[in-house]
Amino acid sequence: MPWPNSGDYVEALRDSGLCFADDELIDGEVDVDHNGLPLALVGNSSSVFRVVKNEKAWAVKCFHWHDESHERRYRAIEKALRSVDSRYLIKFEYIKQGVKAAGAWYPIVKMEWVEGESLDSYILSNIQFPDRLANVKRDFQDLLQTLNRAGLAHLDLQHGNLLVQMDRIKLIDYDTFFVPELDGHDSLELGHYNYQHPRRDKQHFNLSLDNFSAWIIFSSLHCITLDTSLWHKLAGGDECLLFRQEDYGDPFKSYAFALLESHSHPEIRNTAKLIRSFCESENGLEAIPSVSEALTCKIDLQPLPPISTVPAWIKAREAKLGKSMISLSHERKTNEGITYGTFKDFNEAVKSNDNFEDIELRNSICCLEDTQIGKNSRVYHFLGEDREIALKCFMSHVPNRQEHYEAIKIALKGGIKEYVAQVYYLPRGIKVNGEWRPALKMDWLKGQTLNQLRKTQINEATASYLADRFAEMILCLRRQGIAHGDLSFDNILLCNNDLKIVDYDSMYVPALMGKTAIETGDPAFQHPRRSLKHFGAYLDNFSSWLIFYMLKRLYVNPSLPELVENCLKDERQADVVKTALRNMELDRKADVKEMAALLKLILGYEFPAVPILDAERSLTRALKNTTDVVKENISSPFLKKKPKN
C-alpha cells in the first residue's frame, strides 16, 4: 500500500481536529495558502506543515515513505537529544499514530517551529557586515563542539538546516542524526550534495562524518569574512555557500579552488588548500579532523593550473539574472502608466456587495467615512458579521505584488504576529469599472497613530514606555530576519496600550531574498541614499534609531519629527550648502542637540551599514557605542573626522 503524498496530507490537515491524535496539535491552526488550503513545504521524503496551538508553533513532518527501521531510529535520536541541554537544539518527538490521512494513521515527527533565516539567506542579508558573519562562524564552531562532546553527529549540515537569529544558530531537521545507539547501521540519507565528500556512501555512518561538511561551512564563512566579494564572485546562495559538488570531485578543474588559492589574502589561500587536501586525500573520510581555527599552518600541495573559463553555473546565474532584469524591465514598460481607477471609482465600487468575490466582504458593510488615503492606495473599513475588516485597494499595477504578499503573509504568522495584522492577498479583490482588481484583506486595527498621539499631552512615563515597547518590537522583527521597510509615525499604532505596525508594502522577509523593494518608505524617516535596490533585514536600522529617540523625547519636544524631516530633505539635495543639520547642532535645546548628534552619526554610514538599534544601554552610552564603530570612509559633510568619544 503506497504512503500518502503531499496532496493526501493537505486534504487531511484541512480538519486538524480529526487528523491529529496529539493534544498539542488537535484543533491547532494550520498555515494555509492563498486558496485557504494547508500550506505544505514539500521535500523528497516528506511534507512539513506549520501548526499553531495556544501560541505555540510546531513543525509537523509527514512522511511520503517509511522504512522498518524508521521508528527505532527516531526513538533513539529523540532519546539522545533529550539528554543534551543546548540552545542549538530544539524539541523533537516521534509520534507513531501522528496523522490520519487517506483513511489510515501514519507517523509524524513533531518539532518546535523555529523562526529565523537560513544560513545562505542570512549571509546575503548581512554581506556588508563581516563582524556579524564572524559571530555566526564562532557560534557554528561552538555548535560543533557541543555535538562532539555529546557523541552526536547531524550528518546533513548545510545552509538550509542552520537557521540564524541575531547571529545565533539553531540546528533543524534531525532525520539523519548519528547517535551511539545507532552505531553499526547504514545512513538513511546522504545529505545535501554540495556539502558532502564525493566518496561518502550509505555505509558511512559514524561520529566523524560531520567533519567534511563542517569544514565546508566553516571555511566558507571564514573566507567571506575576509573578503565579502567572494560571495558574489562564486555565486553563493545557489544551493551552496562557496563550494559545490563538482569542486570536490576534480579540484584541478575547479573554478572555486583556482580563485581562492590565487587570492591575495594568505588565510584564504591556505583555507582553500586545506579543503582541497581533504578532497584529494587517499585516507578514509574518518581521517578528516574536526573543525578548528588553526588555519595558518602552511599546506603544501601541487599548484593548480589557472582557469580562464567561467563555469557553466556562473554563466547560468548571470543569464538568469539578465533575463530576469529584461523581463522586469519589459513588464514595467508594458504596465507603465496603468492605473486601476480613480479614488471616486473605488468609492463607488465599495458601496455594492456585488463587486466582491470574497464571501466575508460580500456580507459586510463599508464605512466610507473611515477611509484612509495613501499615496498609491486607499484603505476601506468594513463591518463584518463577527469582526471589522480593512481592505486595501491598490490604485495602480506593481510587478510581483502577489508573490510579495504571499511571502509576507506566512512571515506575519510567525514570531512577530503580536505586532501586526494578518493579511490575505485577493487577486480578484474588487471589481472597479467592470474589471477585477487586486486588494489586500486584513484586520481593522483600532488605535491612534504615533502622529495622532504626539499631538496630545504625553508624560515622561508614557514616552519611555512607548520607546521601550518600540525597541522590543524592532528586536522581535530582527530576530526573524524581517524588516518593515517603512517605519514612520503614521505606520505605528497604539492599540490597547501596545504597539502595532501597519502597511506592509515595503516589508522584507527572508523568503523575498534577492528581490527588489517595491517602495522606499516615507522620506521623513529614511536614509537620504536609500533606493529600491536596498532590500534586506537592515531596512529598519536607520529609521528605528530616529523613532526610538523621538519617542524618548516625545514629552519634551513633539516637533522633533519635523526637524528631522527638514534635515533629511536638506541632505538629499545635491550641489547645495547643507545647513539644517548644522542649525540643529547649534540649537539651544538639549533634545535637539542630541537628535543632531544621532543624525550626524548614522548619516555617516552607507544605508545598509547603519548599526542595529541598541536600546539595552542608556541613550548616552548607545550613542557612544555607535560613535566607536563609525568607519573612516564617511560621506556626510559634517563628519570629516572620526567623532571623539
Domain coordinates of the chain in residue numbers? Answer: 6-112, 117-305, 343-443, 448-628
Mean pLDDT computed over 308-323: 59
Determine the Cα–Cα distance for residues 73 and 77; give it in Å rounded to an integer: 6
Higher pLDDT, 125 or 225: 225
Give the three cell numbers for residue 524: 521623513
Q: Which helix (H) or strand (E) holds 285?
A: none
Which pLDDT value is given to residue 149?
92
Quick one: pLDDT at residue 191?
86
Q: Are 383 and 367 in contact (CB under 8 A)?
A: yes
pLDDT band, residue 626 (cuts 50/70/90): very low
Q: Is 519 helix (H, G, I), strand (E, B) or coil?
A: coil
Sign of the C-alpha dihedral, residues 598, 604, 605, 606? Answer: positive
> Is residue 311 over pLDDT 60?
yes
Q: Identify which of 404, 379, 399 has the alpha carbon closest to the alpha carbon of residue 502.
A: 379
| pLDDT score at 637 | 29
The yes-or-no verdict on residue 294 having pLDDT over 60 is no
Output the nine-digit C-alpha cell for 144: 560543533
C-alpha distance from residue 511 to each of 40, 83, 88, 160, 177 (Å): 15, 34, 23, 12, 27
Which class would CATH give 117-305?
mainly alpha
Query: By the 8 A CB rule, do 50 and 413 touch?
Result: yes
Architecture of the domain delimited by 6-112: 2-Layer Sandwich (3.30)
Tens digit of each residue's pLDDT (9 = 90 or more) over 14-36: 999 999 999 999 999 999 877 78
Residue 322: predicted pLDDT = 52
Closest listed residue to residue 242, CA positions, set 223, 263, 262, 226: 223
Work out the percent of the chain whose per-residue pLDDT is above 90. 51
Inter-residue contact 487 to 470 (CB < 8 Å)? no
Within its chain, how far is the Cα of 509 from the centroid?
Answer: 4
Looking at the predicted structure, is the pLDDT value of residue 318 above 60?
Answer: no
Mean pLDDT is lowest, of 316-320, 444-448, 533-537, 580-584, for 316-320
41-94 pLDDT tens trace: 887 788 999 999 998 999 999 998 877 788 899 999 999 998 888 899 998 899
pLDDT digits (tens, 9 = 90+) for 359-396: 999 999 999 888 888 777 899 999 988 899 999 999 88
Fold of 448-628: Transferase(Phosphotransferase); domain 1 (1.10.510)
Q: In this structure, is the dihedral angle defined by the CA atoms of residues 512, 515, 519 and 521, taken in order, positive or negative? A: positive
pLDDT band for position 413 (50/70/90)? confident
| 129 pLDDT tier (thresholds 50, 70, 90) | confident
Q: Which helix (H) or strand (E) holds 45?
A: none
Residue 631 has pLDDT above 70, yes or no: no
Closest by Cα among 455, 454, 472 to 463: 454
Distance between CA atoms of residues 153 and 442, nearest Å: 44
Query: Inter-axis angle of helices 541-552 and 460-479, to 10 degrees?
Result: 160
User: Hey, what's the cell of 349?
Assistant: 465600487
Cα separation, 12 vs 103, in Å, equals 9
Segment 98-127, tens digit of pLDDT:
999 989 999 999 999 988 889 998 898 888
User: For the ranges 182-191, 300-309, 463-472, 493-502, which has the lowest average pLDDT?
Assistant: 300-309
pLDDT at 297: 58
Would you say the CATH fold of 448-628 matches that of 343-443?
no
If phi > 0 it is left, if psi is from -120 to 50 it is alpha, else beta; for residue 166 that is: left
Residue 221 — left, alpha, or beta (φ > 0 → left; ψ -120 to 50 → alpha)?
Answer: alpha
Mean pLDDT to the nearest integer, 318-334: 46
Q: What is the mean pLDDT of residues 624-643?
A: 34
How high is the pLDDT of residue 526?
95
Query: Across all residues in the chain, what is the average pLDDT?
Result: 85
The answer to whether residue 338 scores a pLDDT higher than 80 is no
Say what the pLDDT of residue 403 is.
Answer: 87
Q: How far is Cα 130 from Cα 337, in angstroms, rounded to an integer?
A: 42
Q: Residue for cell digits 537620504?
A: 528
Q: Which CATH architecture fits 343-443?
A: 2-Layer Sandwich (3.30)
Specify the pLDDT at position 415. 80
Find where cell 525597541 sits: 471
Q: DSSP state, 371?
A: E
User: Mean pLDDT over residues 335-351, rounded?
Assistant: 78
523 pLDDT more than 80: yes
What is the secondary structure of 388-400 as a DSSP string? EEEEEEESB--TT
| Owner of C-alpha cell 509520534 | 95
pLDDT for residue 636:
28
Helix (H, G, I), strand (E, B) or coil at 319: helix
Give residue 336's pLDDT.
43
Cα–Cα dist 514/508, whole Å: 10
The residue among 376, 569, 377, 613 whose CA lies nearest residue 476 is 613
Q: Quote the percentage of the chain above a pLDDT of 70.
A: 89
Give the pLDDT band (50/70/90) at residue 463: very high
Mean pLDDT check: name the lowest of 326-330, 507-511, 536-540, 620-624: 326-330
Residue with cell 506593481: 398
Residue 319 pLDDT more than 90? Answer: no
Cβ atoms of 444 and 392 closer than 8 Å: no
Residue 629 in this model has a pLDDT that exceeds 50: no
Q: How confident is the model at residue 334 (pLDDT cuts 50, 70, 90)?
A: very low
Which H or E element spans position 56?
A: strand 56-63
Please state, in angstroms and as integers, the Cα–Cα distance from residue 157 to each residue in 161, 171, 176, following that order.
Answer: 6, 9, 10
Reading the block at residue 497, the C-alpha cell is: 496600550
- Show contacts of 159-162: CB within 8 Å, 24+ apart: 159/118, 159/119, 159/120, 159/217, 159/239, 159/240, 159/241, 160/118, 160/119, 160/120, 160/192, 162/118, 162/119, 162/217
Categorize the per-residue pLDDT at 329 as very low, low, confident or very high, splitting at 50, 70 and 90: very low
List Cα–Cα distances, 198 to 235, 465, 635, in angstroms. 21, 57, 48
